[in-house]
Amino acid sequence: MKEDIVEVAVKGLMPTANGCAVFLGNNAKTFVIYVDPSVGNAISMTINAVKKERPLTHDLISHLLLGFNIKLDRVVINDVNEGTYFARLILHMQNELGRKILELDARPSDSIVLSLQQKRPIYVAQRVFDVVEDMSEILERVLKQQKEDQSGDETL
């Protein structure tokens, strides 16, 4: 199985006109998944450990999993079709009745939030990783611009 998937991490976020660009990748390649504004905000808040007054939907899902003693094992972005990505949540539950592995279809954006909240790995199917456009140079420019913007803000 390990040859069929590639581990990636969230390498950056950038607001867009319609939501947020999430840069995922590793040392070899970076690609982008576009998400709606609310999920982009949830990803950002999770990365920055922002305390929330009330639980958001992803928090509720995490609390439900915890309450039923279900662990998120990993997230796998398993397909892409005309720019739309698909993912699977791999869940693991063990109790007095035995062990159960459950695989659920999920939006990659929601899956990313859950993986960040629970500090679980994100994988991409090798065949998906092979076909996505490498956005490493764009990410470098975005991060450089964000750093310059932050430096400019500090001098005010």
| CATH superfamily of domain region 2-154 | Bifunctional nuclease domain (3.10.690.10)
What pLDDT score was predicted for residue 153? 63
Kindly tell me if the per-residue pLDDT of 154 is higher than 70.
no
Kindly tell me if the per-residue pLDDT of 3 is higher than 80.
no
Q: Kindly report the pTM of this predicted structure.
A: 0.87
pLDDT digits (tens, 9 = 90+) for 44-103: 999 999 988 888 889 999 999 998 899 999 999 999 999 899 999 999 998 888 899 999
Please compute the mean of the pLDDT values over residues 138-148 and round it to a whole number: 83
Tokens of 81: 């079709």
Distance from C-alpha of 17 to C-alpha of 84, rounded to nearest angstrom:
18
Confidence of residue 30 (pLDDT cuts 50, 70, 90): very high
Alpha-carbon separation of residue 57 from 81, 147, 150 (angstroms):
26, 31, 30
The mean pLDDT value of the chain amounts to: 91
Phi, psi (rounded to 5 degrees) for 3: -75, -20
